[in-house]
Structure 1
């Protein structure tokens, strides 16, 4: 009697490993989704995560990009474990059918995620120019899922598999470029209906804040931001309601109030808020002391507002 061929370990464990990796991804993207909706800061070793989350690329169809990532990871978990929930001794044919169907779905989903993650890495390096550890980690998870979806089972028709992968990759790339066309092209972005103002400013302004705001306006200083950006709101809170009303503010999101995305693109804005003062460009929330130094302000500096937690 011939010796039965042993099943490679990767065939036996690939689905559980993929489910575990997808769970890690779901937790990370779920956390980022909560951060985005709550307009709070991320637990990140650098400010790169907040810069990426505050960029126009982090919102798709008015929703956090992280939310779509969360749904993708949850779907991968479902595809991975679905056949494992069927007892092979009681219903072998059903389990075999599920393994066949979900195996292809795992490959298609992992391919789409890996391609999109690759494009996101391009944006982070060349457009946003800030490192987000969560995004990098998600990219690693996506590529790992892609590799496991290929080596985790015995594919009968490899040619058909890679043709399917090519088609999925093409669809994802074309779709992604179409979705982000508004970010790169203000004429497309302005087709949205504007009007959202974001959270109200709850702090009041002292004499020093008012004087700095007037000085920034006098020297042509501008703040570029988006109504939903938590760091933009922090910046507004530092000035207070009265002083910020004197600041030259440019709304970059076409859904915001009085949007001017063409000015944002012309200024090369990659993240929010971005300040342009006296030829200098700084991204992120700036202290009033920093803005005073950038603008050459020499008036009173007894600013009364501070960032939350500072």
Structure 2
């Protein structure tokens, strides 16, 4: 009498595990989406993490990139759980059809997410970790990449595929399309067509300075102070807003973004104390984050008027 071949545990449970990982990824990206849409900041264990999440690489089609990640994870969860909602004893045909179709969708989706996550890891390390070290690591991005890798491996080995050669060909095709799209997106961010000469546009300073703000900015410039920042950094814009116009134009500002106007990336990378933006260098001391004008006045030994008009 022949013994019935037992289905491997991984094949029996792979859908549930993929669905669970997709839900974890959805929670991760939902949190990031909510903080971007409602003006908050994600809790970050490193100072540079927030820079990654507020950089141009965190936006796609004018919306938070995490929003598209959230939709992708929810789609993966739906593909994973959908066949499990159909009772195979009552509707075997529908269950089989859903099972086969959603496995192909799971493979295509996990492949696309893995390739795009891998490209985002390249951007994170090349644009943030290389110049800033461990401070440039985004833990949310790494978590998402690990979720994508886990789903891809489970999709590959979580069932017995009949035509592995066709599967590999499909994976290469999907990966190539995603990679080309990623390169195009990256190129648009790095070199906006209308701003190729002068660098990307920056948000205008909308506040108005008084004499005290102008005098402080000129004092900082006179003593050789420096404000290291990036055009896309919201905290750098907040700092300029505290000075207002025309004082903001007097700030001794160092642009660190490689694609920013008058970029001085080499100087930023040669200054190891710059681990986030903005960072002030005043009289040999470094101060990270947005500083109040009172703090800048005290650190720089400013003796002029201090009736600053703009409050944080």
TM-score range, shorter chain: 0.7 to 0.9
Aligned-residue Cα RMSD (Å) equals: 3.9
Matches within 5 A, 1:139-158: 139-158=145-164
> How many Å apart are 1:230 and its aligned residue?
3.9
Matched with 1:213 is: 217
1:64-107 Cα distance to aligned partner (Å, 9 max, x none): 11111111101101110111111111111111111101101101
Question: Cα–Cα, structure 1 residues 272 and 58, in superposed 2: closer, same or farther, change >3 Å?
Answer: farther
Distance 2:113 2:147 in 1: 9
> How many Å apart are 1:196 and its aligned residue?
8.3
In the alignment, does 2:76 pair up with 1:76?
yes
Normalising by the residue count of structure 1, what TM-score does the alignment of the two structures yield?
0.77
Distance 1:59 1:95 in 2: 38
Q: Which moved more, 1:60-69 or 1:73-82?
A: 60-69
Q: Kindly indicate whether the alpha-carbon contact (under 8 Å) linking 2:110 and 2:148 is maintained by their aligned counterparts in 1.
A: yes
Distance 1:74 1:107 in 2: 15
Q: What is the SS of the residue equivalent to 1:82?
A: helix
Distance 2:230 2:244 in 1: 16
Normalising by the residue count of structure 2, what TM-score does the alignment of the two structures yield?
0.77
Distance 2:262 2:39 in 1: 21
Unmatched 5+ stretches in structure 2: 130-135, 270-274
In the alignment, does 2:280 pair up with 1:299?
no
Unmatched 5+ stretches in structure 1: 254-259
Paired residue for 1:184, among 173, 182, 190? 190
Matches within 5 A, 1:220-299: 224-226=229-231, 229-236=233-240, 238-239=242-243, 243-244=247-248, 246-247=250-251, 262-263=260-261, 267=265, 273=277, 285-287=289-291, 292=296, 297-299=300-302
1:121-142 Cα distance to aligned partner (Å, 9 max, x none): 1111111221011111111111
Distance 1:283 1:125 in 2: 24
In the alignment, does 2:176 pair up with 1:170?
yes
In the alignment, does 2:142 pair up with 1:136?
yes
Q: What is the SS of the residue equivalent to 1:17?
A: helix
Q: What is the SS of the residue equivalent to 2:261?
A: helix
